[in-house]
Amino acid sequence: MTDNAKSTDNCQSAPVSAPSSPIQATKTDLQHYAAAHVLPNGTSILIRAVRPDDKERLRAAFGELDRTSIYTRFFGHKKELTEAELEQSTNVDFDRVVALWATINSGGAEIIIGGGRYIRNAEPASRLSAEVAFTVEEDYHGQGIASCLLDHLVQIARRNRLSQFEADVLATNRPMLAVFAHSGLPMRQQSNRDAIHVTLSLDAEQS
Convert the pLDDT of each residue in 123-138 to its tens digit.
Answer: 766 679 999 999 998 8
- Range scoring the smallest mean pLDDT among 16-20, 31-35, 53-57, 72-76: 16-20
Tell me the percentage of the chain whose pLDDT exceeds 90.
Answer: 63
The amino acid present at 45, given as its one-letter code, is I
Model pTM score: 0.84
Task: For the chain, give the mean pLDDT.
Answer: 84
Q: Domain 27-162, what fold?
A: Aminopeptidase (3.40.630)
The pLDDT assigned to 24 comes to 62
What is residue 67's predicted lDDT score, i.e. its pLDDT?
Answer: 74
Question: Tell me, what's the pLDDT at 22?
Answer: 43
Domain ranges of the chain: 27-162
The CA distance from 18 to 147, in Å, is 17
Mean pLDDT of 177-181: 96
Question: Is a pLDDT exceeding 50 seen at residue 16?
Answer: no
Rg (alpha carbons) of the chain, rounded to whole number: 16
| Residue 158 main-chain phi, psi, to 5 deg | -60, -40
* Nearest-angstrom CA–CA distance, 79 and 70: 9
Q: For 78-105, give the DSSP string.
A: -SS--HHHHHHHH---SSSEEEEEEEEE
